């Protein structure tokens, strides 16, 4: 006969949820929230796969008696009005931000017959400890108000919440959260439309971490970018080429710009300095300028304290010709993005070959990507870059006639809308009579935005006049970008059908875009 358990054998354990706990979690949810759906397998696995440390449960005497789930997010996206769907649970968990400053409490449930033992407080304490361990600024909760349905005919939601705060009415969930140190931020209408007890409402509650230490580097809310409608002139020396470039770098530096973009194939000006030959041989000869080109822009980025995307330059590696965009960070780092899609004319005239990796660069103004001209015409590339965190696309391009320019410009605008990002474009103008395959140019440098009421009319923040040399400068509001990605009129990034399509790049794990 088995030995009966004594009180000494009964233990309370707080631990992470495991995938095999799903059935017990579903049973617990059904007991706590009859009529409301529990996690399905996809949602549950997604939470554990993406943020396992935020999924907790409490066992008492071997029984699962309480559970809670939380996600790490960018708090600026959730201190404004939002709904439960904005968390994206079961849809890729788009809200999750590995560098976010906020722990968002998704749900908490305690078995009815185990209530009165303050078990929820243990889970709240575990969440607070997680926030301290991760050095998060706060914890947020979209809390239910399950007693509101009893008073909805006589009281507005704001009146009801006020009376609960004044202790003139009792709401089991709101009172418990207030007792755990949370304060009220705002009422959230239409948070959970199927929550009949709360009439769809929730209250946004906040707990501030008293141990939070702000990081040394905080991603800026505003980024000042500059881009060039660049006149292609014949030059007689490398120094003459850098003098022209330095004018724009110096000017952008004087205006305290964070980033400056030059056009694709910027160094084609230097083809006048190589011996006459077939176009493919001339293109390969440009590689002799790679070292001075890198040295010059490396020094300029540091000297003028500006991140420079120095257009693109043709280089030879292992006998192969590539079209490469160089990013010169103002802290001295140098990055490269190889062009991934090669136009027929690049192949025919020069024999350019393609790169194989879309990179996202971590800069002091956030994560950015470089889409070299033709690459902007392939939506998958931009989707993959956005999935990796890019918020600004820099698009150096080189087109000969207006029709070609319009292709790049239109596709860049589409990428902004599809991915809810900014795009900065720079192209060359003028003629290079001595350069076969790149003799005429047409461009209109521009800074583009998503298309919504929060952004400029027509989605154009700034643009140059067509085929007129110019430097344009604009401040990009990154806080508005992040906020409207979830709360805009439409949400193309969030609402994409990830169950229908995905993208896989060599060397990467498959991921949904």
Furthest-apart CA pair in the chain: how many Å?
Answer: 99
**Cα–Cα dist 277/221, whole Å:** 50
- Scanning the structure block, which residue is given the tokens 């755990």? 180
Cα gap 201→189, rounded to integer Å: 5
The CA distance from 234 to 434, in Å, is 9
**CA gap 293, 309 in Å, rounded:** 12
CA distance 509 to 503: 10
Distance CA 138, CA 208 (A): 4
Count of residues making up the chain: 513
Q: H or E stretch including 477?
A: strand 470-477
Choice among 197, 264, 346, 469 that is catalytic: 264
Cβ 90 vs Cβ 83: under 8 Å = no
Q: Are 503 and 252 in contact, with CB atoms under 8 Å apart?
A: no
Cβ atoms of residues 106 and 69 within 8 Å: yes
* Residue tagged active-site, from 57, 259, 373, 416: 373
User: Which position among 32, 128, 257, 339 bears the catalytic label?
Assistant: 339
Reply yes or no on whether 259 is catalytic: no
Burial status of residue 395 (CB atoms within 10 A of its CB: 0-12, 13-18, 19 or more): buried
Residues 6+ apart with CB under 8 A from 131: 103, 138, 139, 207, 209
Active-site annotation, residues? 264, 339, 373
């Amino acid at each position: 006969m088995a030995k009966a358990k004594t009180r000494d054998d009964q233990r309370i354990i707080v631990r992470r949820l495991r995938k095999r706990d799903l059935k017990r979690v579903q049973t617990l949810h059904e007991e706590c929230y009859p009529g409301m759906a529990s996690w399905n397998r996809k949602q549950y696995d997604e939470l554990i796969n993406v943020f396992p440390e935020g999924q907790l449960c409490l066992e008492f005497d071997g029984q699962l008696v309480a559970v809670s789930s939380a996600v790490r997010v960018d708090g600026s996206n959730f201190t404004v009005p939002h709904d439960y769907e904005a968390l994206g649970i079961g849809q890729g968990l788009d809200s999750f931000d590995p560098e976010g400053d906020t722990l968002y409490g998704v749900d908490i449930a305690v078995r009815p017959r185990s209530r009165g033992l303050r078990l929820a407080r243990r889970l709240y304490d575990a969440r607070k400890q997680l926030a301290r361990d991760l050095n998060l600024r706060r914890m947020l909760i979209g809390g239910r108000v399950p007693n509101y349905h009893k008073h909805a005919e006589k009281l507005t939601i704001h009146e009801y919440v006020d009376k609960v705060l004044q202790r003139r009415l009792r709401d089991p969930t709101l009172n418990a959260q207030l007792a755990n140190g949370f304060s009220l931020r705002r009422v959230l209408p239409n948070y959970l439309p199927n929550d009949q007890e709360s009439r769809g409402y929730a209250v946004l509650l906040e707990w501030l971490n008293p141990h939070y230490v702000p990081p040394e580097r905080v991603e800026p809310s505003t980024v000042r970018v500059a881009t060039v409608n660049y006149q292609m002139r014949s030059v007689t020396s490398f120094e003459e080429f850098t003098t022209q470039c330095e004018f724009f770098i110096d000017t952008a530096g004087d205006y305290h710009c964070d980033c400056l973009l030059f056009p694709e194939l910027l160094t084609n000006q230097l083809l006048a300095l190589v011996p006459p030959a077939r176009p493919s041989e001339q293109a390969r000869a440009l590689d002799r300028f790679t070292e001075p080109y890198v040295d010059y822009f490396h020094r300029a980025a540091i000297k003028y304290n500006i991140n420079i995307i120095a257009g693109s330059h043709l280089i030879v590696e292992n006998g192969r010709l590539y079209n490469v965009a160089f990013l010169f960070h103002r802290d001295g780092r140098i990055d490269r993005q190889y062009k991934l899609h090669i136009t027929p004319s690049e192949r025919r005239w020069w024999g350019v070959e393609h790169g194989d990796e879309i990179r996202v660069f971590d800069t002091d103004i956030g994560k950015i990507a470089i889409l070299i001209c033709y690459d902007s015409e392939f939506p998958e590339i931009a989707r993959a870059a956005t999935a990796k965190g890019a918020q600004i696309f820099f698009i150096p391009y080189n087109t000969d006639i207006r029709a070609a320019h319009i292709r790049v410009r239109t596709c860049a605008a589409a990428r902004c809308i599809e991915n809810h990002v900014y795009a900065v474009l720079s192209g060359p103008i003028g003629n290079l009579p001595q350069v076969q395959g790149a003799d005429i140019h047409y461009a209109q440098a521009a800074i583009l935005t998503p298309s919504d009421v929060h952004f400029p009319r027509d989605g154009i923040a700034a643009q140059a006049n067509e085929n007129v040399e110019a430097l344009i400068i604009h401040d990009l509001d990154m806080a508005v970008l992040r906020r409207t990605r979830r709360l805009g009129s439409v949400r193309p990034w969030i609402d994409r059908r990830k169950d229908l399509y995905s993208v896989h790049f060599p060397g990467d794990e498959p991921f949904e875009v």
